[in-house]
Chain A
């Protein structure tokens, strides 16, 4: 195994200049991908506007605004397993601070290439955590605190994906999933964002760092 994921990836938040790709009034995300070699040197970097909040985002925000349980809206809330969910509004509702080695929620990587639709509830093909063939090692999710400039506010969600599989792993889709409880106290996971990107190859021994910068622009 040539690569090992760090429990707490180094996080760099640029406070003095926030990259703005959103239009005024928009709440969205900027997606950043950085490929690093064994020495931590960035060999490839991409920055783009995240295009695709999927259907779970708005119902979860709606329920959060009301502090209601989701039993009244099971048909519009789907877990990443594809099950209609009757989630409970809890202290963990919408949490995405996934721990190391966890590929249930937080930032997720996949190999599917089908364009996103509103109805997406999971990545098309999740790249699982591990060191086996076609797998990546998932770090813990970390966060950069909120900051703003003259027009834009943001916070950053970061995760490292290290390739210790012994061969190239190709990432074509990226998602952000959050946690919730389903009665009676069973964890469920819900996809909020799914983006399809042009293929990025993670060679064996290298690490892909993914940032979602959640932003709003006035």
Chain B
């Protein structure tokens, strides 16, 4: 089986501007692995698009499914854009073990704002307590966003205890691992100095930390805000206010943003997430703007046909991308995400990735149609 990759750029529906055809080069090990689960009827561990090794069960029907609803349409715990055909700007050559797009374009349905807006946050008055942050005692707060966000700043509701002369307050964003613990390098970070002007009133005040560079966070993916102070002790530290509620069902339905607050006592080398920390939410506001990206339409397959002359049989996997970002977006890579499942938990896996060279520039309001055409002939 070979596959053809077709890329068609439209000014608007029906007005074709550009047509590309190239061989699909890159069905990946993850495709072979999902096929193995299906054919061998054996569970197998596969690396998902977030880099986590996931067990995929053989006794489910959904493995290899790749049709999906558009963008924000939630499908088995995932937004629709995470399944099916993908687009990105990465230019690195594919390898068999690629598990994610190098630089995926997020699903975006509006132009980038000219100033920051709040995308996600948590505030509750009165707070039930505060975390003391100083030295090697770091604290994190998990969060998800409902729309892709390029994060420019993080606001924290804090108050000062004692003298913080010469100290620096740092806030950063990190990925979390399969245990919901912060992991890897900072995706972005910012610092605040001159901390003695912050109130000592336990009601706290909002302080804004501007990130030195921005990072894009995407929906239904957990991240962590990590907060630390460069020095201090139990008498000289920063209090980060939190709200806590021990009833998990109450918390889940009333406060879905309340994902918990892991802590570290060794400067971020290791993290713990005791049960009581899962009932807490430190007060924060995520300030950012919609990133450049593409509007992901539904991803589907079209009919099997037997064209003459060869290939003898083929079908198509197709997705439309619309640029509503307000400026041009360049597509240098495309790929396919497929579903896997174990018990009642669903995962997403990259099964194909191709580099498009030269890249295709999709101007604002233009449409890009990406089509994979698997074909067989005898």
Contact = CB atoms under 8 A, between A and B. Distances in A.
A111 B63 CA distance: 35
Interface residues of B, number: 49
Given A95-B38, A216-B27, A154 B60 contact: no
Contact of B24 (A25, A57, A58, A215): A25
A118 interface: yes
Interface stretch (B28-36, B147-155, B195-203): B28-36
A91 B39 CA distance: 10
A145 B44 contact: yes
A152 interface: yes
B65 A66 contact: yes
A148 B304 contact: no
A57 B376 contact: yes
Contacts, number: 148
B95 A218 contact: yes
A109 interface: no
Contacts of B304: 58-59, 62, 73, 76
Interface string A1-30: 000000000000000000000011111100
B29 A58 contact: no
A64 interface: yes
Interface string B335-376: 000100000000000000000000000000000000000101
A155 B32 contact: yes
Interface string B86-101: 0000000011110000
A152 B97 CA distance: 10
Interface stretch (A33-41, A46-54, A127-135, A201-209): A46-54
A interface, size bucket: 35 or more
A152 B96 contact: yes
A25 B32 CA distance: 13
Contacts of A153: 28-29, 31-33, 96
Contacts of B140: none
Contacts of A172: none
Contacts of A198: none
B64 interface: yes
6 contacts: A76-B304, A89-B61, A90-B61, A95-B38, A97-B40, A118-B306
Interface of B: 1-3, 23-29, 31-33, 35-36, 38-42, 44, 58-67, 94-97, 300-301, 304, 306, 312-315, 317, 338, 374, 376-378
